[in-house]
Amino acid sequence: MSSPHVPTVSVTDLPTAPTESVVLLDVREDDEWTLGHAPGAQHIPLVDIPARIDEVDIDAEVYVVCRQGGRSILAVEYLNNIGYDAYNVSGGMVAWQQAGLPLTSDDESGTAKIY
């Protein structure tokens, strides 16, 4: 999923790890996050972003990810409209897993799997 007016990057073009100046923001729901997420990602479900916006560093580059890219586009549009430097992660966590990038899980089984 993509939008012509939303800056987008592929999972393979992301900075190597979240830092003070780079945030990977995961906007999926709690149950999706629990199954598997990127190490070091910050988790705020899409519907909670306006209420929790102070938790996202406005001075950082914010890379936004969801499952496949729909919700992250909405989040990037919102963030960029209020002054953030935000980018949509194309293909979301499905593309992340397909690219063989590392996953961590809060699931009791210890198995991280997105799809």
> Catalytic positions, please?
66
Report the alpha-carbon distance of residue 63 to residue 113 in Å, rounded. Answer: 21
Nearest to 112 by CA among 34, 42, 44, 18: 34
Q: Name the DSSP class of 110.
A: -
3-state DSSP call for residue 24?
A: strand
Looking at residue 42, the DSSP 8-state letter turns out to be E
